[in-house]
Structure 1
């Protein structure tokens, strides 16, 4: 009896398979794959630690290049826009109350053209030529970048001009020029 039930069961399976028809197999298959791209770094600026732009006498202008300034944008951004600004302190000599000052209203800056760039977008010098030099007693745009995507960098070698007022005493004058980027 067991053989009859087993035979009947197998016959039923065979009949069901015959009615269902042949099984269809997929010939393609899609896999949705994701990955994450991390930023290699952030937004940074490097500047020369020191610069000596020369010497002059009262009533003249001293002018010289500061050395390379570089903005490196490793944010990997879809909109990697940035603006670099520059500002100067007063230039002073001596110490204590006897110190002499060349006010920062006498300090001019021009970025000049880029000395190197990489990445897509538009790199724009704040002051492409000496004719556009600006007083940097308040922050002024030194360089900017708009458009494009991804990582980028720009370098330039700005020129600083210091007008030495009449009556300025002899000495080594020191000031700080600060570049920032956002």
Structure 2
């Protein structure tokens, strides 16, 4: 995941925070499903590729609803931040083996 912030706030350059949210759909196979409530998200450490930003990572146990997963604050100037999240999926023993499809959506505000 990469956030590129090129906003300019010349009046007060420190007020340029952002939050990245994530949500998942249920993961579905031809015969079974894994609910989004069983999908966990760990943002992991952020790498500041350019500029300056204080980034706070968050671990979530469920992606059933939109939840904040990474927050950038104390930013100055344009900056680029990247991280590689880890998803964990709790699979009950009676679920069918096979391919499951679903989606993970990130948004930045």
Which TM-score tier does this pair reach, normalised by the shorter chain? 0.7 to 0.9
Higher relative contact order structure (alpha carbons within 8 Å, sequence separation ≥ 6) = 2
Q: Distance in 2 between matches of 1:180 and 1:137?
A: 15
Query: 5+ unaligned residues in a row in structure 2: which ranges?
Result: none
Shift of 1:158: 0.5
Q: Distance in 1 between matches of 2:88 and 2:5?
A: 29
Structure 1 residue 142 corresponds to structure 2 residue 60: no
Query: 5+ unaligned residues in a row in structure 1: which ranges?
Result: 1-68, 128-132
| Structure 1: 4+ residue segments shifted above 4 A | none
Query: Could you tell me which residue of structure 2 aligns to residue 61 of structure 1?
Result: none
Give the secondary-structure state (helix, strand or coil) at the position aligned to 1:138.
Answer: coil
Query: Could you tell me which residue of structure 2 aligns to residue 89 of structure 1?
Result: 25
- Contact map agreement 1:118 1:152 (CA 8 A) in 2: yes
- CA RMSD across the alignment: 1.5
Q: Distance in 2 between matches of 1:147 and 1:115?
A: 15
Query: Could you tell me which residue of structure 1 aligns to residue 106 of structure 2?
Result: 179
Q: Distance in 2 between matches of 1:161 and 1:112?
A: 13
* Bigger radius of gyration: 1
Q: Tell which deviates more after alignment, 112-121 or 152-161.
A: 112-121
TM-score of the aligned structures, taking structure 1 as reference length: 0.53
